[in-house]
Structure 1
């Protein structure tokens, strides 16, 4: 444990401490495993609902790549962009309804999967500039963006995602055995394991609760015969990002819901980074362009 960490905190390390490589690697793996499902699930839901078929693996790869790039920029604070905090960047579930709406606008008029993706990425790219613009002024709106306001927004978004969490626990979106006893036992076992490990007195073990719970769940799934690696062998070993792969479409009917969600997530971002600052014991000096940066990067590597 770092000598700089106050005795009354659960922090093992403060922001500028440097754990040894082994501990840093294990911590990084836990972050990746904890965020993995959250990063790829929106792409799976969008791809499955809109019938994007063969394009889904590419979307999953790009979601993971951009999450890594955006996290690096966020934590390293490149120029004026990024908070410098340990804030892993993933995919916001808040955009699901807006993105699906944009997709159905194109699909209902007979658009192909490529045309659907072209419009989705086009309106997302332009909508990102709404949040980039807001990032320059949001710190001046503190009287409107109080902790109560940002807290309510985050809680509302979290509650709206309860369905997603329960769906995954029951077997996942579109699973044939959805809600079966084995699925519930496996998901519930992981949940109980994480909760129990989280209340152990040892701080090191407690901070590894998610990693340990996931590993226990993986082992249980293997013994239950629920792990299938056949599709892994068919996937490309490495996928190269192709800027603007699907073209660049635009539709006002699709753009308005996306732009509105960028306004909402700017408030969410304010709460996320404020909470991260408080937990880290770091001063709150303003907000980064988190979601805007993330989506702009994702669009640039996933379209054209």
Structure 2
């Protein structure tokens, strides 16, 4: 009897892990597709890049889950390619060499590992006002990406925003909502997975699903160090990737605090340091095995909140599945059959949940204090502003553009600086007397 219970529990954990995998899979394979395409990789090179990248996502996730004295934050986090690294890596690869690109990634990983302890000590700069603002902006800035996918993923395509694309995406959202409203127990926990399967089935009936990726993929791949050649180290390229690594650390800090709040587990300075070190190791391995820098994915925070499962066990399964799929490209290619609009529909729900997690954290803030309102308003305004209009910085140097056009970084830096300058905690607000206090009888002693 006990064996049956354990088997059922593990089966549920495995399905939840698959849900985590599908939630991040499109983002994980997007980076190698974009960079490989920009550098004109042939089909065999692209196959290696995508499959080994998926393997490294699983390994990077495992490094964070295996909490020990040196590295690993031990939270249910999933790591994937840092999307903000796409443009600079394309630029480095096109202007220099592929080896220079991977040399810069290795340098960035070494840098993060070296400063992990120092960066972790500035956690006092992230009170609920700052972290809540940052998490809200993370969710809100991701929603346009969700809608891009909902329309088909490419605004220049003739079928972008077609009724079929919108229909299968909307069906995915409706199924996720229905599972959460009327579903019970495990059905509610795997609502996103059910939504993806239902949306994919409908898309298949509409002729949107192709088995070609599976037929063309090979059966087995294994990671090879320096597959594309030995690394080259160039100063400007290395500095560029160091700045991208700092951006990732800021984003990861917000995700760590969001999960800590969700799990009612305080995130200590030691936790942060080990979390940064795990990401640093993942980045260095990405450079060595010729993949990419890795960072904590924020969309999986929404999935943790939506499913209600707050343990690491499902994420261990997700890491194992990712590594397996990376070694078996033909099996891994099955996940690429999910149409982009279907993934976009699921993203709308998950990214909205991330934003609401930030709003919930802001609920701890006393907004009767005008300084708190000002800090949140300006930070969110700037973060969303540069996301919507990144071209506003087009006259600035490329390095400045990379930093300033990132809405999450803009909101994070603004919130931290304004919190330090305005010091809202020093200004107390006298609360109005409650009804019970007004009606309290007067003593006649």
Q: TM-score range by the shorter chain?
A: 0.7 to 0.9
Pairing 1:32–2:21 present: yes
1:132 matched residue in structure 2: 113
5+ residue gaps in structure 2? 1-5, 292-445
Residue 64 of structure 1 is aligned with which of 41, 54, 59? 54
Deviates more, 1:68-77 or 1:92-101: 92-101
1:268: how far off?
1.3
Residue 235 of structure 2 is aligned with which of 246, 252, 255? 252
- CA distance 1:240–1:172, shift in 2 (3 Å): same
* Kept after mapping to 2: 8 A contact 1:245/1:302: yes
1:252: how far off?
2.7
Quote the Cα distance in structure 2 between the aligned partners of 1:99 and 1:18: 44
1:87: how far off?
1.0
Query: Which has a greater percent of helix?
Result: 2
Equivalences for residues 87-98 of structure 1 within 5 A: 87-98=77-88
- Aligned-pair RMSD on alpha carbons? 2.6
* Kept after mapping to 2: 8 A contact 1:147/1:271: no
Deviant stretches of 4+, over 6 Å? none
1:151: how far off?
4.4
1:267 matched residue in structure 2: 250
Pairing 1:104–2:78 present: no
Residue 187 of structure 2 is aligned with which of 205, 208, 217? 205
Pairing 1:280–2:263 present: yes
Quote the Cα distance in structure 2 between the aligned partners of 1:233 and 1:245: 24
Quote the Cα distance in structure 2 between the aligned partners of 1:237 and 1:22: 26
- CA distance 1:74–1:20, shift in 2 (3 Å): same
* Kept after mapping to 1: 8 A contact 2:27/2:80: yes
1:11 matched residue in structure 2: none
Quote the Cα distance in structure 2 between the aligned partners of 1:79 and 1:260: 27
Quote the Cα distance in structure 2 between the aligned partners of 1:183 and 1:150: 35
2:104 matched residue in structure 1: 123
Pairing 1:293–2:281 present: yes
5+ residue gaps in structure 1? 1-16, 107-114
- CA distance 1:119–1:178, shift in 2 (3 Å): farther
* Kept after mapping to 1: 8 A contact 2:99/2:232: yes
1:58: how far off?
1.5
* Kept after mapping to 1: 8 A contact 2:108/2:283: no
Quote the Cα distance in structure 1 between the aligned partners of 2:41 and 2:136: 31
1:155: how far off?
4.5
1:8 matched residue in structure 2: none
* Kept after mapping to 1: 8 A contact 2:57/2:79: yes
Quote the Cα distance in structure 1 between the aligned partners of 2:115 and 2:178: 41
SS of residue paired to 2:77: coil
Residue 162 of structure 2 is aligned with which of 170, 180, 187? 180
Pairing 1:229–2:194 present: no
Residue 10 of structure 2 is aligned with which of 21, 40, 47? 21
Quick check: which has more Rg, 1 or 2?
A: 2
1:302 matched residue in structure 2: 290
Pairing 1:49–2:38 present: yes
- CA distance 1:220–1:248, shift in 2 (3 Å): same
Quote the Cα distance in structure 1 between the aligned partners of 2:61 and 2:119: 21
State the Cα deviation string for residues 204-253 of structure 1 (Å, max 9, x = none). Answer: 32221110111101111211121111231221111110011122123333
* Kept after mapping to 2: 8 A contact 1:150/1:267: no
Quote the Cα distance in structure 2 between the aligned partners of 1:262 and 1:154: 18
Quote the Cα distance in structure 2 between the aligned partners of 1:159 and 1:178: 22
SS of residue paired to 1:90: strand
Query: TM-score, normalization: structure 1?
Result: 0.81
- CA distance 1:233–1:255, shift in 2 (3 Å): same
